[in-house]
Amino acid sequence: MKFPIVTVAMVSVALVYVFWGQSQEQSDPTDPARFSNLQANPVKSSEVVDWAITQIPEVCAQAMGKDEGGDALAECVDRAQPRTSTCRRAVYDHFPDIVNSEALFRDVSISMMNCLVPQSGIVRP
């Protein structure tokens, strides 16, 4: 039986690629100021979606209200995390690739946040 040189080489290259990707710096979270002048500097919808995902703890805190404790907030965040890919796909399918207005930014971000942290129709004073 021959030694599988090609297979070993391909697996080695794949492992080097994975380790190289892990060693790269992670991108900084999107600065909200980036969205201040969308007509002059449009952004990709993926940037808006990524920013909305970073807002999960704040959205959960707002949805839970001030009466809820830290456990309820942590549970809300834990429930929202698995929804990110499904919500991301829904927003990408429903909105254009480029966000170039404040109204479109608002619609994309609110749709994403509502998908991540669904709230009941109860209105709180």
Q: Structural domain boundaries of the chain? A: 38-125
Rounded to whole angstroms, the Cα distance separating 30 from 79 reads: 23
More confident residue, 14 or 36: 14
Q: Which two tokens stand for residue 19?
A: 């380790």
Contact 60, 89 (CB under 8 A): no
Predicted TM-score (pTM) of the model is 0.66
3-23 average pLDDT score: 87
Residues 82-114: tens digit of each pLDDT: 989 999 999 999 999 999 999 999 999 999 999
**Cross-strand bridge partners of residue 64:** none
Predicted confidence (pLDDT) at residue 31 exceeds the cutoff of 60 = yes
- Radius of gyration (C-alpha) of the chain in whole angstroms: 20
Residues 6+ apart with CB under 8 A from 56: 77, 80, 81, 116, 117
Confidence of residue 125 (pLDDT cuts 50, 70, 90): very low
**Cross-strand bridge partners of residue 43:** 99
Q: How many other CB atoms sit within 10 Å of the CB of residue 50?
A: 16
- Looking at residue 93, its pLDDT comes to 93
Region of poorest pLDDT, from 33-47, 56-70, 84-98, 104-118:
56-70
